[in-house]
Amino acid sequence: MRKKAQLFLDKHYKIAQTDQRIYGSFLEHLGRAVYSGIYEPGHPQADSNGFRGDVMALIKELDVPLVRYPGGNFVSGYNWEDGVGPVEGRPECLELAWRSIETNEFGLNEFITWARKVGTTPMMAVNLGTRGIDAARNLIEYTNHPGGSYWSDLRKKHGYQEPHQIKTWCLGNEMDGPWQIGHKTAEEYGRLAVETAKAMRQVDPEIELVVCGSSHEKMPTFAEWERAVLSHTYDYVDYISLHEYLGNRDNNLANYLAETDRVNEYIKAVIATCDYVKARKRSKKTIYLSFDEWNVWYHSNAQDQKVKPWSKAPGLLEDIYNFEDALVVGLFLITLLKHADRVRIACLAQLVNVIAPIMTRPGGGAWKQTIYYPYYHASRYGRGTVLQPEIISPVYDTEEYQGVNFVEAIGVLSDEEREITLFAVNRSQDSLMELECSLNNMGDLELIEHIVLEHEDIKATNTEENPDKVKPHNQGKTLVNGHRAIVELPVLSWNVVRLRVK
């Protein structure tokens, strides 16, 4: 069975230039994200720092531009000083967010060294749960001040003569959440955040700051939280955060694939709230969005209840992703690109083992989960100018969503304007889609390749024993004639169509 859809793109109708940080990720001291994830001294492929070489290779392949650290819920009870200085002198602590033992063997300086080795940029979070202004100003003095003060000289004593120059900072994490250590009302948090921002900017005026938005759009305080917090912080911050995790708990695939339509509305609501505060303040400044936690997360919930508390690096949040999850991640990436004018930072949460595209076995191998592939394709081929899409597609309805396009797509024009990449998902469970693309004012085009991620089993997963069960191929069918392309989108598929301007 075959259905038809249309995509219209024009070189002159642009959303925005992508900020490469939209393809960022996240590492928290949670489960095995750090220990036996990126860091495992004694592993056959560990380097002299204890960093796993096999994991570093997979991360370099993704070309991750930014990594948020060290949390997450973890940061709201974290004393950063516990993770610096001689390792043998660092304390083992009760970590309350995930009820684990934190050894502090891996800390701030190890993270910076690792980030440089994999070619990424750090995005640091400060603790506004149990701590506040004083700890934050000391931390940024330690990381960014060149020397001649207590904390900057302590960094030098720890072996780092040059400042780390961390320029992007999160003012706490999910402070609207009752689960958060040091949970606050919007007024309490807004006041603390603005005063912390002022102090941090006194130490380094060149930093960017992210203030906490709602933990997700279903929070009872959503939108009012953003309004109240921004009423305090608007003049002192650059971004407001969004967090969202999707899942197929009811095993309803049609509804699951439509969930990103809700994400699209969530983003628009946050933008509207930011701009309302802008208008109220008569400000010329625009607040941008940092979608610094997003992913699929639901597979591991039952297993996590069985983990023994106060363990060291227990196996927590280890979702094993299947093929349908990869489609949802692809749809999420398209949604982020649709808002590239306001979403400047985004972090797939997380990077290794914990709801992650990369899995490892302690002492063993590392492999790509199904969701690795759309993330890889977007990071590699989705940098440039996002073009405004006009899509005409057959639609479907679910119990929760109405008028959902079977075809979702976006186009990104390379900086040199010599290539255009189309990302497209066919949500249909029974119909191949013929997507007719009109690519105007770009000249004649030719096909470079058409990559397809598809699988007959929507529940198929990758494992260490069978790491390539779900993987893309480049045998997709696309016909190009001048500035038009006919793209065949297989049933339930993620598609990457790369075209060259002749």
Question: In degrees, to the nearest 5, what angle opens at C-alpha 181 toward C-alphas 180 and 182?
Answer: 105
Provide the residue type at 342 as one letter.
R
Question: Of 293, 318, 324, 454, which residue is the catalytic one?
Answer: 293
On the CB side of 172, how many CA atoms lie within 13 Å of its CA? Answer: 34
Q: What is the DSSP string of 190-244?
A: HHHHHHHHHHHHHH-TT-EEEE---SSTTSTTTTHHHHHHHHHHTTT-SEEEEEE
3-state secondary structure of 370: coil
Q: How many whole angstroms separate alpha carbon 392 and alpha carbon 435?
A: 9
Q: How many whole angstroms separate alpha carbon 194 and alpha carbon 317?
A: 33
Give the contacts of 22 (CB within 8 A, at least 6 positions apart).
336, 337, 340, 343, 344, 345, 346
Which CA distances in Å does 295 have to 176, 188, 455?
20, 29, 21
Asked if residues 336 and 375 have their Cβ atoms less than 8 Å apart, the reply is no
Both tokens assigned to 251: 């095993």
Question: Of 141, 174, 259, 454, which residue is the catalytic one?
Answer: 174
What's the DSSP call for residue 313?
S
In terms of Cα–Cα distance, which of 267, 277, 276 is closest to 241?
A: 267
Q: How many whole angstroms separate alpha carbon 204 and alpha carbon 430?
A: 56
Q: Looking up tokens 């990103």, which residue turns up?
A: 260
Report which secondary-structure segment, H or E, holds 493: strand 493-501
- Residue 293 is a catalytic residue: yes
In terms of Cα–Cα distance, which of 75, 11, 50, 54 is closest to 361?
A: 54
- Residue 174 is a catalytic residue: yes
Give the contacts of 307 (CB within 8 A, at least 6 positions apart).
314, 315, 316
Residues marked as catalytic = 174, 293
